[in-house]
Amino acid sequence: MGKRSLLTVILTAFGAVLAQMGAAQIVATPPRWYKGNLHTHTINSDGDSPPYDVLAWYKRNGYHFLVITDHNTFTDPALFDTNPNDNFLLVGGEEVTNARTVHVNAVGISRVIPRQNGSTVTELLQASIDAVRAQGGLPLINHPNFGWAFTATEMLPLKRTALLEIASGHPLVNHSGDGRIPSTEQMWDQLLSAGVRIYGVAVDDAHNVREEFSRTRANPGLGWVVVRATGLTRENILAALGGGDFYASTGVTLKEIRPTSTSLEVELPPASPTTSSPPHFRVVFIGKDGRELSVSNDNPAIYSFVGNEGYVRARIEDSNGLRAWTQPVFLGGVR
Ligand SMILES: [Zn+2]
Ligand SMILES: [Zn+2]
């Protein structure tokens, strides 16, 4: 039984107990989708805008939450996220950074994490992951191909992993690899196939929020996550991210993701009747070792498990090159 289906059983049992207690007046908040960016810089490191301006950009552009992740610098959300009623949440963060270009984002921390030490890339990654976990945060392994710093080989021994960057708006992170060095999405499959539980995210890694926007600058609005939660709180966002109840996107919006014990179903919103050239979509279902299991143009797209896939995840591709990625449903054998 997957983590989510177990959660469903617990919630259902909890609901039954409440009903028996005559607590009919307690109405559960239905979960909804919240859009956020987990990787952003400000003038607190090498970004070009003050935190409040960066926050304001994301708020204006339809986001619900943001993590400011300056290099080895913690930006206190309480100083900038001062309106509790604006349906926008700033989550504490930092990009734990060292000279070997091993960068790990700390999502949901509350005080600074110093530069970590280690004699190998694996040691540096593990030290950073442990420091983030020690604060109840989620470690996000950033851009392995930035500076061609490391591959799945260095990540395979890691413990207590949570998130891996598989897409980014940053122009220098080489996420597609070169055919010999794998793409970060291929690295993700290598980790999942070896039994490492880690979820894939898309981020902005934005540095340039002012002046002109161009493909050579690290602008905002290019990669994000959409999490399913019952309310916009740090705890809910971290629980959804840590439990894989979210999708990553560089531009494709999903209506619903339905993982069950027998299938994975992906539903896209209906095309807008006012769009003159609506994009077409295909949904690629992927299993262990990155194996393509099936491709569907249906909406919803449904993949029924055979049982030997190891895990099943979906990549949704639109006809303009934009993508979304669901998180894997584990079919056993994954720690
Ligand atoms: Zn970085
Ligand atoms: Zn960064």
What separation in angstroms does the CA of 81 have from each of 19, 112, 169? 37, 18, 24
CA of 69 to the centre of ligand 2 (A): 7
Q: Ligand 1 mean position to 102 CA, how many Å?
A: 8
Asked whether residue 17 carries a pLDDT value surpassing 50, the answer given is no
* Chain-centroid distance, C-alpha 3: 17
Question: Are 282 and 315 in a shared domain?
Answer: yes
pTM of the predicted model, to two decimals? 0.91
Tell me which ligand sits closest to the C-alpha of residue 218: 2
Closest listed ligand to the CA of 68: 2
Ligand 1 centre distance from Cα of residue 293 (Å):
33
> Sorting pLDDT into bands at 50, 70 and 90, what band is 154?
very high
State in Å: Cα 311 to ligand 1 middle: 29
Domain shared by 38 and 23, yes or no: no
Instruction: Assign residue 230 the CATH number of its domain.
Output: 3.20.20.140
Question: Which of 250, 267, 300 is the last residue in one of the domains?
Answer: 250
Q: Which ligand is nearest to the CA of 146?
A: 1
Pair 20, 44 in one domain: no
Same-domain pairing of 57 and 183: yes
Residue 70 CA, ligand 2 centroid: distance in Å? 7
pLDDT in tens, 63-115: 999 999 999 999 999 999 999 899 999 999 999 999 899 999 999 999 999 99
Q: What is the pLDDT of residue 24?
A: 46
Closest-approaching ligand to the CA atom of 142: 1
Of the candidates 69, 11, 70, the residue with the CA atom closest to the CA atom of residue 36: 69
Mean pLDDT of the chain: 92
Give the pLDDT confidence score for residue 300 in this predicted structure: 98
Distance CA(267)–CA(37), nearest Å, equals 22
Q: Per-residue pLDDT for 18 more than 70? A: no
Q: Can you tell me the distance from the alpha carbon of 248 to that of 225, in angstroms, rounded to the nearest whole number?
A: 4
Ligand 2 mean position, distance from CA 41 (Å):
6
**Same domain membership, residue 153 and residue 200:** yes
Rounded CA-CA distance 63/80 in Å is 16
Q: Are residues 58 and 168 in the same domain?
A: yes
pLDDT reported for residue 197: 96
How far away, in angstroms, is 140 Cα from ligand 2 center?
Answer: 11
Strand 65-67 and strand 32-37: pairing?
parallel
pLDDT score recorded for residue 110: 97
pLDDT digits (tens, 9 = 90+) for 248-291: 999 999 999 999 999 999 999 998 888 889 999 999 999 999 99
Ligand nearest to the CA of 223: 2
The rounded percent of the chain whose pLDDT value lies above 70 is 91
CATH number of the domain to which 261 belongs: 2.60.40
107 lies in the same domain as 152: yes
Domain identity same for 237 and 259 = no
Instruction: Please give the residue range of the domain that contains residue 282.
Output: 255-335
Ligand 1 center from residue 132 Cα (angstroms): 16
Indicate the pLDDT class of residue 12, thresholds 50, 70 and 90. low
pLDDT digit string, tens, across residues 187-197: 999 999 999 99
Whether 156 and 67 map to the same domain: the answer is yes
Asked whether the predicted pLDDT for residue 16 surpasses 90, the reply is no
pLDDT given for residue 273 in this prediction: 82
Query: What's the pLDDT at 21?
Result: 47
State residue 63's pLDDT score: 98
- 132, 155: one domain: yes
Of 198, 217, 250, at which residue does a domain stop? 250
12 and 72 fall within a common domain: no
Ligand 1 centroid from CA 278, angstroms? 35
Confidence band (pLDDT; 50, 70, 90) for 214?
very high
Domain count, the chain: 3
Dist. CA 61 → ligand 1 center (Å):
23
Domain identity same for 288 and 154: no
pLDDT for the residue numbered 116? 97
Separation of CA 8 and ligand 2 centre (Å): 36
pLDDT band at 324 (very low <50, low <70, confident <90, very high): very high
Distance 258 CA to ligand 1 centre (A): 33
Domain finish residue from 187, 222, 250: 250
- Residue 164 CA to ligand 1 center (angstroms) comes to 12
CA–centroid distance, 152 to ligand 1, in Å, is 17
